Structure 1
Amino acid sequence: MYKQVLDPVGDSLFLSALVAMIPLATLFLLLGGLKLKSHWAGLLALLAAILVAVIAYSMPVGQALDAAVEGAAFGLFPIMWIVWNAIWIFNMTEDSGHFAVLRRSFAAISDDQRIQAVIIAFSFGALLEALAGFGTPVAITSIMLLGLGFKPMKAASVALVANTAPVAFGAIAIPIVTLAGLTEIPKEDLGAMVGRQTPLLALFVPLILVGMVDGWRGIRAVWPAALTGGVSFAIGQFVCSNYLSVELTDIVASLLSVAAMVAFLRVWQPGTPLVAESVLRRGGPLIAGAATADATHEAAIRRREGDGKDSRADVIGAYAPYVIIIIVFGLAQWGPIKDLVAKGTAEFSWPGLNILNAKGEAPSAVTYKLNWAPAAGSLLLLCGLLTMAYLRIAPRAAAHAYGRMVNQLKWATVTVAAVLALAYVMNLSAQTLTIGTWIAGAGGIFALLSPIIGWLGTAVTGSDTSSNSLFGVLQVSAAKEAGLDQTLMAAANSSGGVLGKMVSPQNLAIGAAAVGLGGQEGEVFRKVIGWSLLLLAIMCVLVYLQSTAVLSWMVV
């Protein structure tokens, strides 16, 4: 039996926190400083975490290795299971020529890349986050941007930065529901409080995306459209989370944002659009369709990839996979169906992990949940099969697309498995708790630092839900000691956590792999880390002011 201790180094929480930071420092130094390939950086950081667990925390070697194996298993299922099937669906649309049609359809709304970044990465990505989460929006929107002519690095970084404001209410508000269950604070109160924090991010993020695409010139040129998308999303998120439904918050906000931008662009367009170089050529970039034995089918693929007028059937076919995703995920959240698929879940204690926390209870992470039916990846697999049927893609061609996906993601799979193994070792040995507890001891200034704890949790685990599981109770306990509002501090954990999503090695690997930049995660990290820290600073100031008389009227 291993019992977690928070201050194993000289009985000092400060010294223990410094030692506990070694694996994270190793990871980010190797990625951002030495530009090591992410799978090697992840594996070396995992080794550092195991050594710290065994040497500093006196965790038995066998248990440390067991924790790593469980984390790697979680990285494969459900995380990579989502990404594999999301990119498989994209590969099928690419091979059939339907993605070329989709690209032209989005260009018809606006051929300006700055506006496309907001509509696709922010507004449509928020809808995917609302329904699926766990990396799905980054995987899908980055490859959509790539198909529209964005350079791979820009497509990945834009998709990662866009995946912020909706994250706290992602996957039908699972992060909020999880936080409510752990802290015993009503989910309505937590959702309302987060809904008075993250809408501020929605005002900034579209402008940041425009700036990433075209700098200050782009912001000056298309700020009305960017603000339209951001303000409408912020209003939808605030109103729905405070007065309608926590679970439906991101669905309402994303649909309102898309509708507002489409309506606005009917009466306003930028004077000089920023068009991708490849699209400037007549017909745009061609996407090579898969060769088939069916001459008629092959001719249809070539027609879709050409420069002729798209038929109504082709346009419907291009949108069909994404409509199918929305319908399937929406139905999966409906009472009777949700109860039915929930039966396809098996839970068991991970073999060899005998761990107790400071309260003498087993951490929730020692229980592995194999939710093979309700998992987002399984639902995406179903969406892929339905896409096959609707687009009339032969089984052999679909299998070829799946095989190509596996080859595309082989190193990303290693990276995600290594990073989740690192997260589990740090969590179960209590390294992460040591860091969080040390920060929580800041007293009254804790309100300023509270979002940083959430940011750290998501940066390590890649999940706002996991961050809330790790630090939600700690935030409430620290709030009691410091005389701060408990609902505010718990919400700050989730709101700060959303800003760690873009720098999580797990999501960096997903974004890089989706656009063919496997191994260049360090470069993507350098593109987004500044925005992550800037938005985190804004959130820290907001939460601090909410804890004082200045903005106390915003607190639920």
Structure 2
Amino acid sequence: MWQQTYNPLGNLYLSALVAALPILFFLVALTFLKLKGLTAAIATLALSVGMAFLIFHMPMEKVLGAAIFGILGGLWPIGYIVLMAVWLYRLAVKSGKFDVIRGSIATISDDQRIQVILIAFCFGAFLEGAAGFGVPIAICAALLVELGFKPIKAAMLCLLANAASGAYGAIGIPVLVGAQQGGVDLSEMSVMMIAIVQLSTLFVPLLLILVLDGFRGVRETWPVLILIGLLFSGLQALTLYLIGPELTDIIAPLASMATLALFMQFWQPKQIYRETGAPPVSAQRWSLQEVISAWSPFYVLTGVVLLWSVPQFKGLFAGDGLLAATVLKLPIPFLHMQVEELPPIASSVHALPAVWNVALISAPGTAILIAVIVTTLLSSRLSLWDSFNQFRTVVRDLWSPLTMISLIMAVAYIANFSGASSSIGLGLAESGRIFPLIAPVIGWLGVFITGSVVNSNTLFAHLQSVTATQIGTSQPLLVAANTSGGVMAKLISPQSIAIAAAAVGQVGRESEIMRTTLLYSLALLAYVCVWTFMLSFTV
């Protein structure tokens, strides 16, 4: 048994700074050194191993166990989801469905600014709510490329759009986990999410158009920006307040897509914006049946994922469920229940589990696989051999970004099990009453490290709650701040960047994508920090 230490250097600030070195190095490697994502990930992992062993005195067998645990977590379920999502997209292209999808979108508007709002913002949010875990970035970025957007720009736009929906992805799991781990009332946390996030969500469509076409684009599309901004953010807020986080990214995007399609029947921009090199607008029009058929892979995907989220279905895979045997639970040697977490990170000393759960059926990737199978079987232009060949191509194209994701997950797990992540959090918490100003930074770092708002809340929601009690402010506010700050890191999370690069065929250019989104991520984080600090004096 080994106990974590959170202040190995005798100075909490210095220990936190050293603990953050791998994160800082990875940022510098991608932005200033312009290393390829895989190269940067390998170097960062080596630095993390050395830091955990030499500074935090974690036994080497446990360091390696944490690294292996992280790599396995990167392969399943994350790698599984990415592979299946890109495979589904490639089959949709191969079957000709994307030609119809592209045409149906163009029918709503030839203006590609409107198409960005429809796809990256509305449809991406819907996929985030239904599936999460990188699915919306992979599918929507690829769809924008099909419509004529440059690959890097398509990836950047989809990453920016995710700032409006990332907090409620995969049927609201980030908020549910935050409330559970932080020990706060879900309805109270939902109210705080409304207070922090929904104001910025109002302006995400405007930000997308500013990036795409500057102030001219805003002047020419302002009716759409006001309509969709108010409708989307307003419905999210109402859903959070009246129902909860589970359907926040389902109701608002669906209503926004339908409203936008209807509105565009009566209004169009005076000047139609088209990207340079975009394919000409086709005069061909498709019947309603053809359009419904073309979008069918995503209907199937959404339906299956929603079924996967039903409590009764989840219960089948619980410990005493009928299908519990399909969830393989594999303890990690030298790590499982052999590392103890201490107060104030935990309420009492307890050993950390390290079990790799391989959910063969209930994993989100399996839901996408079902959509793949249905698409293959129902498409007259696809044979089983064609589908298999597309899968081989996807594996060949994605091995590098998936390896990068797995290595960064190894970095995250080393940080978590060595106590380095907690050291960063405790260092920031020493700021006292000014802590609400930097509370979102902890969530931001958590998502940057792990790639997941769920994981960030698992790591730090309890810390936020404990700190709130110590400094005399609202516990739901700081847990919500952890969630909100984390969402802004999804724009530059290595996992998100790798998925986006793979989806648009730009593997090896991850640093370029990160440079396009880094400033926006930091600006949104600054907003969350300042607004949380102001709210801390009123709640």
Judge conservation of contact 2:110–2:281 (CA < 8 Å) in 1. no
Alignment pair present for 1:432 and 2:421: yes
Q: Matched residues in 2 for 1:460 and 1:56: separation?
A: 19
In structure 1, what is the Cα distance between the partners aligned to 2:199 and 2:111? 25
For the pair 1:325 / 2:301, whether they are aligned, the reply is yes
Q: Where does residue 197 of structure 1 map in the other structure?
A: 196
In the alignment, structure 1 segments of 5+ residues that lack a partner are: 284-306
Paired residues for 1:208-287 under 5 Å: 208-279=207-278, 281=280, 283=282
Query: Offset of 1:347 from its aligned partner?
Result: 3.1
Q: Distance in 1 between matches of 2:421 and 2:173?
A: 22
CA shift digits 1:245-284 (9 cap, x unpaired) = 331121112112222322222222111111234445364x
Task: Report the counterpart of residue 494 of structure 1 in structure 2.
Answer: 483
Matching residue of 1:386 = 374
Letter in 2 for 1:538: Y
Deviation, 1:477, is 0.9
- Structure 2 matches for 1:37-76, cutoff 5 A? 37-76=36-75
Q: Are 1:316 and 2:298 counterparts?
A: no
How many Å apart are 1:180 and its aligned residue? 2.0
CA distance in 2, matches of 1:92, 1:246: 32
- Aligned equivalents of 1:51, 1:496: Cα separation in 2: 29
**Maintained 8 Å contact 1:188/1:246:** no
2:30 aligns to what?
A: 31
Report whether the alignment pairs 1:163 with 2:162: yes
Residues 107 and 285 in structure 2, CA contact (< 8 A), matched pair in contact too: no
**CA-to-partner distance for each residue in 1:501-524, whole Å, 9 max, x for gaps?**
111111100001100110111000
Inter-partner Cα distance in structure 2 for 1:525 and 1:277: 23
Alignment of 1:275-314 (within 5 A): 275-279=274-278, 281=280, 283=282, 308-314=284-290
Moved more, 313-322 or 87-96: 313-322
Provide Cα deviations, 1:265-306, integer angstroms capped at 9, x if missing partner. 2222111111234445364xxxxxxxxxxxxxxxxxxxxxxx
Residue 308 of structure 1: how far off its partner (Å): 4.5
> May I ask how many residue pairs the two structures share in their alignment?
525
SS at match of 1:336: helix
**Residue-by-residue CA offset, 1:206-231 (whole Å, 9 max, x unaligned):** 11111121122212221221232221
- Please state how far the C-alpha of 1:309 moved relative to its aligned partner: 4.0
Q: Matched residue of 2:267: which SS?
A: coil
Distance 1:166 1:186 in 2: 21
Map 1:499-538 onto structure 2 (within 5 A).
499-538=488-527
2:187 counterpart residue number: 188
Aligned to 2:352: 363
For residue 347 of structure 1, the aligned residue among 317, 321, 329 is 329
| Partners of 2:419 and 2:316 in 1: CA distance | 36
What is the deviation of 1:474?
Answer: 0.5
Please tell me the residue identity of whatever aligns with 1:217: R
Distance in 2, matches of 1:467 and 1:44, equals 23
Counterpart of 2:345 in structure 1 is none
Distance 1:204 1:46 in 2: 37
Counterpart of 1:369 in 2: which secondary structure? strand
How big is the shift at 1:137? 0.8
- Percent same amino acid among aligned pairs? 37
Matched AA of 1:269: Q
Q: Is the 8 A contact 1:88 1:401 kept in 2?
A: yes
Displacement of 1:112 in angstroms is 1.3
Could you report, residue by residue, the CA deviation over 1:420-462 in whole angstroms, capped at 9, with x for unpaired residues? 1111111111111111111111111111111111111111111
Tell me which of 289, 293, 312 is aligned to 1:336. 312
- Report the Cα distance in structure 1 between the residues aligned to 2:281 and 2:22, rounded to whole angstroms: 51
Q: Structure 1, residues 467-525: CA drift from partner, whole Å, max 9, x if none?
A: 00111010011111111111111111111110011111111000011001101110000
Tell me which amino acid in the other structure corresponds to 1:4. Q
What one-letter code is carried by the residue in structure 2 that aligns with 1:242? Y
Instruction: Indicate the residue corresponding to 1:300 in structure 2.
Output: none
CA distance in 1 between partners of 2:58 and 2:317 (Å): 38
Question: Deviation digits for residues 111-154 of structure 1, max 9, x if unmatched?
Answer: 21111111111111111111111111111110011111110000
Task: Work out the CA distance in 2 between the residues paired with 1:66 and 1:467.
Answer: 21
CA distance in 2, matches of 1:546, 1:390: 53
In the other structure, the counterpart of 1:453 is 442
For the residues of structure 1 that align with 2:433 and 2:11, how far apart are their CA atoms? 21
TM superposition score normalised by structure 1: 0.92
Q: What is the CA–CA distance in structure 2 between the aligned matches of 1:520 and 1:17, rounded to whole Å? A: 31
- Shift in alpha-carbon separation, 1:345–1:180, aligned structure 2, 3 A: farther
1:372 matched to 2:376? The reply is no
3-state SS of 2:357 partner = strand
- Structure 2 segments unaligned to the other structure (5+ residues): 319-323, 343-347
